[in-house]
Structure formats: C-alpha cells, structure tokens
Structure 1
Amino acid sequence: MTPTVPLFLLLLGLIGAQATFDQRMAAAMAAGLCKARPTDLVFIVDSSRSVRPSEFEQVKVFLANVINGLNVGPNATRVGVVNYASRVKNEVSMKTHRTKTALVKAVSKIEPLSTGTMTGSAIQFALNVAFSEAEGARAKSPDVSKVAIIVTDGRPQDNVKDVAQRARDAGIEIFAIGVGRVDMTTLRQMASEPLDDHVDYVESYSVIEKLTKKFQEAFCVSDLCATGDHDCQQVCISTPGSYKCACKDGFTLKDDGRTCSAPCGNAAIDAVFVIDGSKSVRPENFELVKKWINQIIDKLEVSEKNAHVGLVQYSSTVNTEFPLGRYNNKKDLKEAVKKMDYMERGTMTGMALRHTVDNVFNNARPGVQKVAIVFTDGRSQDYIGDAAKKAKELGLKMYAVGVGNALESELKQIASEPIGDHYFYTADFKAMSEIAKKLQINKCEDPCECDSLVKFQKKVEDALQALNKKYILYESMSKRIALLENKIV
C-alpha cells in the first residue's frame, strides 16, 4: 500500500447557514429589489381523460398560486391559458383579464375536456393564437419575455418535437412539467435549453404545488448581488436583471465565469461516481439521480489538468459508463451522464466498490486527490466491508449518499473519517438537490499552497516507487549471490 498525504477536505457538508429561497425572495421584495419583467405567459394544460377531475382541480390551484406570485398588468405580466385534450380550447386570453383576481376567477371556472392527448396541436395553437397580438400578446421585442408552461401526465398522440422547435425558434421559452407516468423523452423534446432548468417531474398532481416557488422566482428580476443569490466566488457585479462575476486583484476569472484562480492554479482531483441502478430506484427517480450528478459536476473545474470524472453504474452487475479522463469539458461530460441507460435488477454494492478500485482508479493520475461518491437507495446484497476498507486504505476519499431504504450503517461503513462529514441521507429523491449543494469541492484559500501540497505528494509517491524498485533489485541480487555461493560450495 502506498501511503498518501491528506491534502484538503473535499465535498464539504452544509455550506454555512445559506438563506432559503423564501428568505431571499422576501428580502428582495422588502428591499424593492424584485421587479416584474414584462412577460407574455401562456399555460398549456393537459385535461385528457387520464387526468381525473380532482387532479385537474389541483392543477388549477397550481396555476392560481403561480399567478398570485406575479406582477400582473398590461405593462408587466400578461397571462393566457390553453386547455387541451383531443381538441384545444383558448380558456383565458391575454387581452381579457388584466388583474390577478379576474385571472384566478377565470382559471377556477375551467372544466376538463376528458378526451385524448394532442399536445403537439396545443403547442401549435398557442404559437398561432394564444401568443398572437390579436389575443393580447405584445410584439416581439428583447424587452418582453415569451414563456409557455406545459403541464401533462401522459404520452402525446401527435408529434411534439418539430412544433416545439418552431415555438422555441419564435422566441418562446418552454417549461415542461410532467406528472406520474409521463413520457420523459417527450418533456425533453418540448423544453428549452438548458433542460435541467426547464424540465420538471412530480410523482402526482397532489405535490405539483411544490413547483410554485420555482416559477415565482423565474418571473422575479432582482438585484441578485444584493440578495446574495449568485454563485460568484469572489466579486459580484450587478447588471439589469442579472449579474456578472469578477475577481480580486491578483486573481484571474476562469472559463466558467464564476471562479477565480491565482497564477499557480488549483489542485487537481480524480472523482468517480458509483451509482446504484437497481430496480428499486425506478426510472423516474433515476432521471433525478442523473440530474443530481450533473449538479455536482457543475461545481467542478473539469479540464485536462484539473478535475477528471468517471462514472460507474451497478445493479446485479457493474458497468463503467465512462473512465476517468475521457471527457475534459463539462458539456461532453454532462451529456454522457444524461445518456446513461438504467440497468434495473439487484444491488451489489460490494462488487461495485471492488470494480471501482481495481478497474477505474487504477488509471487515476499519480499525485492527485482521489474521490469516490457512492450512491445507493437500498441494502446491499453482498458484503461491502472489505471493499470499503481497501478503498480507504489506498487513499481514496469515500463519500456515501443514501436515499429511501438505504441503510445508514452501510453508508457509514463506506464513508471516510470523519464519518459525519462524508455520508448523507435523505428519505426522498426530490431532496437530492439539497445534498448536491452540500457536496462541494473545497478549493484552497491559497491556491499556490494547494499546488505545493500536490507536488509534495507526487514527490513522496515517486520516492516510494523508487525505493520499491531498489528493494526488488536488492532482493534479486541477493538471490543470485546465494545461488553462486551454493555452486561454489
């Protein structure tokens, strides 16, 4: 075993006492920092026969909640509602209701159509009619946003890909919300880029109201630097409705536009995700897991010299989805994660750990901090103790993340010391984004010091390898001398 020098803590725990969304929004409102950006907004709502009447009532409550969070008015946000099933109906026109009270009342009177699911026709109708100036929409302008929010729970009976592309090309930003057994591929075909921001999934209509805050935030233009709602590492500079990042004297803004580096750079890292793809995860939750992986990747400085990322998926078997160093930019890396197919079957966590150590980290770079992030949603069907112990003895920094029926005792067995900083658990897949916020690479306060530590570790490893070679050579020479002595005797 080659000893390694601990360099720095990675994937920190909770980042201080960061304000919640509600606190940030309240602070922005109180300070007058949150203003309505002129927006033409159209809800496109599925009321096909698969949506029960009680569920459709919950959709209307969601619409009313979003509307109540908007600054409604002729010069602010104008709202329309398109209802569809096998046919399409313009329930609320942007020219008809100009106050929240009138809009909410009109929404409450909408009745489900209860036939098929012609989502493509509904998008085309919104493009041709609901967003037309004749129905109260404003002329196309860089000062006015055009937004469509689609809510659906099934697979469309017509084509949505081409018509959604035409709508996006016309300047309409599309958010796609899927419920229950919705077809996730269809949601991605409809939504605007980046898909992570424009595609949402809920398991049932009973929890759709949880998305209300997201859309209230989307229509709030605030001084993000003043509210603290930004991700600049050092300096935040306000711009109208947005912000840009800068660096302190002596530091340089990196290509990601958020973080800063001193001339000597930052330490590198080799990180491997070890992901449970067993049947208990379920397809819709597996999509959330992939989104969670990409949230963490967003926090890394992926490049040939800095962060390398590998991905292993396991169930009853183990598969290296891609090895360390195959992708040297975030875009290609995140696309590879999105393309990962769901395995299903059993949960052989011990086998996955052994595979990761023996077949993935064997190609890691010498002198680089090595990190494994292990995710599981249930009890392992094989023994994990020996594999977890070996990984930590070889110098891997082990993080264990559990959801649902995962055993905390197994998570703690996998996690590095101090265990409280290296294992995380949540009962709900939807809360994984909060864990992603806690898992963050710890960049050194002094990047030059980081570089020095890594160089020192590399020298130590080289010296140990040289000693090992000398020992092998010495042992070989000793055997030869012994053989010669035997012949002389």
Structure 2
Amino acid sequence: LKYQWRVTFNVSKHKCVTKDCVCCNWETCPCADCKVDLAFLMDGSWSIGKRRFKIQKDFLAEVAQAINVGVAGPMMGIIQYGDDHVTEINLKTYSSSKEVKSAIDKIVQKGGLSNVGKALSYINKQYFSDANGNRGGAPNVAVVLVDGWPTDKVEEASRLARESGINIFFVTIEGPDDNEKHNLVEANFVDKAVCRTNGFFSLPVTSWFALRKAVQPLVKRVCDTERLVCSKTCLNANDIAFVIDGSSSVGTGNFRTVLQFVANITREFEISDTDTRVGAVQYTYEQRLEFAFGQYNNKAELLNAIKRINYWSGGTSTGAAITYTAEQLFSKSKPNKRKIMIVITDGRSYDDVRAPALAVHRQGVIAYSVGIAWAAQDELEYIATDPDKEHSFFVDEFDNLYKFVPKIIHNICQEFNSQPRN
C-alpha cells in the first residue's frame, strides 16, 4: 500500500504515465503526455570547438531519449547555426527517439559565427510549416543552445517568432564574464529574447561539462504545456480597436453601459505589449482618440482607462470614425497581429459607412458591428466582415449588451483557430 501511494503521488505530480514505467519519475521515464513540436537550434560556431560540439550532440541525444519521440507525442527537429543555418532534422523526418539519436550522431559541425537572430528568423518563416511536419494542434517550441553569446541581434527575431506561435527557450552555456561583456551585440539578450523574465524560459548552464544535468529540467519545462503561454493564441494575438458611438441619443447612463461592455470584452484577453493591445475611439460628428495601441500594457490600467472615458454627445458620423480609426490605430498595428475592429452604435449614420468599411476590410481588419435600438441593420452589415451573421449583432436595449460578450469572444477564437498556423 505504501508503494502504491508513492507511485500515485509521483504520477500526479509529474503527469507521467507510461506502460513501461516501474516507478514513474522524470529521471527514469519519458512523459507520455508531452505532445509538442520541438526544434533545437544547436550552436555550430567555431568558438565551440570539436569536443564541446560532441557534448552538445550527446545532450541532444539524451533529450530525444527523455521525451520519447513519436507521432502521438513529441516530434523533434534540429537546425544547426553558424554564419548561416542548415536544417539537420525536420520534425517529420523521424518518428522514434532511436532514429533521432542515430541522425544526431551523423551531424557535422558547420563552423562560423553565432548568428542566432538569423536562425530564429528562419524557424519563424519556414521551419514550422506543414511541409516540415508542423502538426498545428501541438505547441511549437524552439530551444536555442548558445555557447557564450550571439554575434547578431536576437530580440526582434525572437519577438516575431513568439508572435507567430513559437515558444522560445534559451539554454546558455558558459556565458560572457565581466571582461567579455563589452563584446555583446545585444546586452541582456536572453531577457529580451524570451517572453517572461521569471527564469522559466531561460536555463543558464555554468559549463559544458554540466550540460547533461540540464536534460531533465529542460524536458520538464518544454513538456509543461500549461505554462507555454508565449505562443500566439486567440487571446494574445490581437490589436483590438473599439469604435464607440458618443452621440446625443446614447445618453450618459447608456454610455456607461457601453463602456462596461467594452471592459467585459477586454477582460477576456491577455494584455501586454507583446500580447493583445487595445485602442479606443469615441465619435460623434467628430472623432477622438481615447487611447492608442500599447498606451496601456497592463490589464488593470487598461480597464481603468476604459472606465475614465468621458461621454462626448453630438451627431453620428460612423463612416468618418471608421476611417479615423484606420489612420490613428491600425496604421500603427504590429506585424503578425490580427487587426480587429468593434463598432458600437445606436443609430443610423449621417455619412456613408460602406466605402470606409470596405477600405478597412481590404487592409485585413476583421470588423464586428454591434447595434442598439435605432441602429440601421443595413449599415451594420456593411460594417461587418463576411459572413455578417458571425460579425454583426443587434439588441433592442443597452442593458442586454452583456449577452454578446461570450458570443464575440467565441467567434474571435473560432476564427483564429480555423486559420492555418505559420
């Protein structure tokens, strides 16, 4: 009974269950529920030397063994980088740890500098593709092994990779000492390259001879899919612009209800400079930028900013407001961000909405229209992205706006998940 309790405890703690396990733990058993598409960027620069390059290969072979490569679990690929990068193993090339280990043994050092940034750009644009074996349903993970420091910049390349859905880990071996830090191309490159500076996505190793000890800690992290929060999802991949009708017909009380609706939608997203960003425009005959994308990168601050928006009062020029939003917000949208516009209005516009809406649609903006009371159905449909029934909503009373929150979030996520991944 005592032995059975210990096994149950370890299984629960490590989520590790395999039919061949005698005592389930990370030292002796691979983890059965580790389904990730995992790519290693191995350092092939001349600075590493032949002996250390061999240690690196041994490390990768042990990782392959530990994760138990297989089509139903983790798939593993390798890119070697130096001056340039070369794909050694595609994700779909091998379907067992034994095959991956055999292929690793045949890898020959390429030499050159340590151009990590170029390699990260490659995995972002090409490596995680369907042709190379990307499964779509499994998280994309890239582990960068660095001897010393990169010889090019990594921050921008890593950010774009993360925004494309790739979780970036850095394993740094024998980093620069105080006398060498002046050689760094990009100071604090690890903190700039990973999405969280809490130590989860970075693993410093004091020497090459201690690298073997990093196998199990690294495997445990890349298999912890609940903490792989850096990949692009429907909740952290957007630039969302709220276009809010502040006309006289709305009234002060109803305007506060609209702001609560905006806050309730915003609350569902992951908010930061590298996650979802939110901007807001209020309009009457004129337009006012309440706050821009990235002005508030903390959810609490953003919700407070929404709450502080002052009711304007005036006419209703929805078409001009859409054009203004495109110029003031979406022209500053980040690459790889999904551009989403949510127009909220209670009446017919005094100007044309069809041409401005068509223009933003052509810019790749996904437009939602929310009409209340006297809003014109034909205008709501012009504003909304096709199909209208998924992007256009109407309610008789302001107090019923809250009912649309889960539907809009569901549609945003369903649409995102139906798109092919990079």
Name the TM-score, length of structure 1 as normaliser.
0.38
Larger RCO (alpha carbons 8 Å, 6+ apart) = 1
Name the TM-score, length of structure 2 as normaliser.
0.44
Find the structure with the greater CA-based Rg. 1
